[in-house]
């Protein structure tokens, strides 16, 4: 694991250039809402998620999953464009599930530090999953 302090805000695109890494090595977390609950989906920066295709993992019907919208509410201390899967105890009751989509599990992946565009956490994708799974149990789900 490596923590990088960029010393100023930096976009994902600028990180790609600086590190000479493909977009597939940068993880993003997109939060969707259904009622008062939010669901996080972690995936490579250059991919999109089709919610109806992962409805079973969300524990929703395909039609309910398809009707979900990008959440206006984010976990504690997180901001758009730097949201990550690293939630806090304050988010229990708000975040219902965080799904880890398939990604290069054994390679280091760049996660923006929650709420901080100037800090990156580079960690093996599978290690990030296991850290959160150990702390939050069934809230954290790996999509096959």
**Domain-wise residue ranges, the chain:** 2-142
Reported pTM: 0.91
Eight-state DSSP code of residue 28: E
pLDDT digits over 43-61, tens only? Answer: 998 999 999 999 999 999 9
Whether the pLDDT of residue 114 is over 80: the answer is no
Mean pLDDT of all residues belonging to the chain: 90
Strand, coil or helix: what is 33? strand
Q: Which fold has domain 2-142?
A: YbaK protein (3.90.960)
Split at pLDDT 50, 70, 90, the class of 6 is confident
Banded model confidence at residue 116, pLDDT cuts 50, 70, 90: confident
Q: Which has the closest alpha carbon to 85: 118, 133, 117, 22?
A: 133
At 135, list the tokens. 């702390």
């Amino acid at each position: 694991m490596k923590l990088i302090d960029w010393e100023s805000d930096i976009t994902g695109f600028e990180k790609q250039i600086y590190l000479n890494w493909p977009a597939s090595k940068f993880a993003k977390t997109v939060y969707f809402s259904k009622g008062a609950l939010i669901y996080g989906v972690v995936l490579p920066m250059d991919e999109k998620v089709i919610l109806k295709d992962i409805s079973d993992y969300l524990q929703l019907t395909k039609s309910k999953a398809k009707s979900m919208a990008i959440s206006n509410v984010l976990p504690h201390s997180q901001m758009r464009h730097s949201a990550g899967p690293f939630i806090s105890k304050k988010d229990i009751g708000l975040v219902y599930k965080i799904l880890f989509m398939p990604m290069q599990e054994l390679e280091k992946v760049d996660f923006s530090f929650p709420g901080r565009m100037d800090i990156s956490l580079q960690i093996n994708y599978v290690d990030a999953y296991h850290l959160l799974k150990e702390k939050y149990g069934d809230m954290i789900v790996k999509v096959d």
